[in-house]
Amino acid sequence: MKYKAIMAVAVLLAVSALFVVPLDGSDAASPVIEVTDGLGNEFTFDGPVEHVMTIGKGITATVMDIGQIDKIVVCDSYSKTDSDTFFDPLRALIDDGKIAAGGNIYSSGKAQLQNDMINAADPETGVFDMEKDVVFIIVSPSYGGDTVQYLKDKGFRNVMQWYDIKDYSEVTGFAETISKVCTGKVASEVEQMSYVQEKIDGKLSSVVESEKKKAFYVTYSGSAFKVGNTGSLATSMILAAGGNVVTIDPSKSGTTYETNLTKLVEDNPGVVIFVDNTVAKDTSRMDELRKQVGDTQLVPLKAIWNNYCIQSMNGVWTMACAMYPDLFEGDVPSIPVEESNTLVYIGAVIVVVAIIAVVAVVFMRKSA
C-alpha cells in the first residue's frame, strides 16, 4: 500500500508540471509602457489603456487592424464616411451609438468633434478617463494645434500627436506605438509589416539599382495631375516595394508637383504608374490620364493604403507585385507559424511523466 502511495504522489507531481508552463517572452506584456508620439513627446502608462479616441483615418484603421475597435469611443467623421468596406464594422458601432463620429479637425467639424470628446469624457455621459486613456490625433501643429491645446486645457492628459510621416518605415514605428498603448505589446499585424518588407528586400537583393523597375505616383489637385516627390508617402511606398521613382526631384520643394506626363512616359519606357484613389475612382479623370500616358501600365491604389496605417502594407505588396510579377504574386505574405515553445515543453513533461510511471511500477515489482 505504501508503494502505491509513493507512485501516486510521484505521478501527481509530474503531471502538475504540465500546468507550470513558462510564458514566451513575446507574449508577456510589460507592466509599464513607455512610448513617444510623432512630435517626440514621451508618455508612460501602467498598462494597456481601456479607451481611445482616434482622430484620423490612419489611426482608426490601425486600432481596428490590431483588434481593438471596441476601445474606440470617438473617431473623426472621415473615418466614418470612408467608402472602403474595411470601415463597415466601425459604422455598425457608430450606428449603435457606441462610437461618436460627428466631427473632424477642420473648421466645419471642429466644434462637433470637441463636443463628442467632452461628452465621452464626462463621468455622467461617457467612459473615457482623461487621466488614463488616450487621444490619438493626426494633425498639423500649425493648423490643428488649437484643438490639441483645447484638449489639454480641458484636462486631457494623454494627447498623442502625429503629423508628417514621410517614410514608409516610420509608418511601422507609428503602428508599433499604437499597438503598445492599446495592447501592451507589438501586435502580430505590426510584425507582419516588417516581415513583408524583409521578404521584398530579400527577393530584390540581387537586383542592381540600374535594373530596378521605373515607377511613379500620380494624383490630381489644383485642376492638374501631379506626380509624387520626396516627402510623399506613396513615393516612399514605391521605394519600399523596390521601385526606382523617376519623379524624385530635389529641386522641387513640394511633395507633389505638376509635370508633362506625356514626356515623362516617353523618357521612361516601361514605367509603372501608381494612381491615387481620387483619380482611379473617377472614370472621366482616368480617361484624361490615359490620353496623356497612352498604354502605360496604370495600377490603381486603394484610398486606405495611402495613410499612416497597417493597411499601407497591402499597398506596398501590391506595388511589388505590379513591378516584379516574376518575383511576387498572391496575397500579402504572413509570418510563418513556428512551433510553439509551450507545446515543446508540454511534450517533454509528458515524456517525463511516462518515465516516472514506468520506474515506479518497476520499483514496486522489485519491492513486492
Which three cell numbers, joined as nine digits, stand for 361?
511500477
* The domain boundary residue, chosen from 186, 216, 245: 186
Model pLDDT, residue 361: 42
Model pLDDT, residue 32: 94
Residue 173, Cα to own-chain centre: how many angstroms? 9
Which three cell numbers, joined as nine digits, stand for 90?
466601425
Model pLDDT, residue 281: 95
Model pLDDT, residue 352: 40
113 and 38 within one domain: yes
* Spatial separation of the C-alpha atoms in residues 61 and 75, rounded to whole Å: 10
Residue 332 lies in a domain: no
Beta strand segments in the chain, E: 33-36, 42-45, 52-55, 72-75, 134-138, 159-162, 214-221, 224-228, 244-245, 256-257, 272-275, 297-300
43 and 173 within one domain: yes
- Structural domains in the chain (count): 3
Q: What pTM does this model have? A: 0.82
156 and 174 within one domain: yes
* The domain boundary residue, chosen from 135, 166, 186: 186
Q: Could you report the average pLDDT of every consecutive run of 10 residues in the chain (368 residues)?
A: 47 45 47 93 97 96 98 97 95 98 91 96 95 93 79 96 87 97 96 96 91 97 96 95 97 95 97 97 97 97 94 97 96 78 42 44 48
CA nearest neighbour of 40 among 173, 197, 144, 161: 161
**Cβ pair 334, 198 in contact under 8 A:** no
Question: Which domain covers residue 17, as residue numbers?
Answer: 2-23+341-367
37 and 135 within one domain: yes
359 and 318 within one domain: no
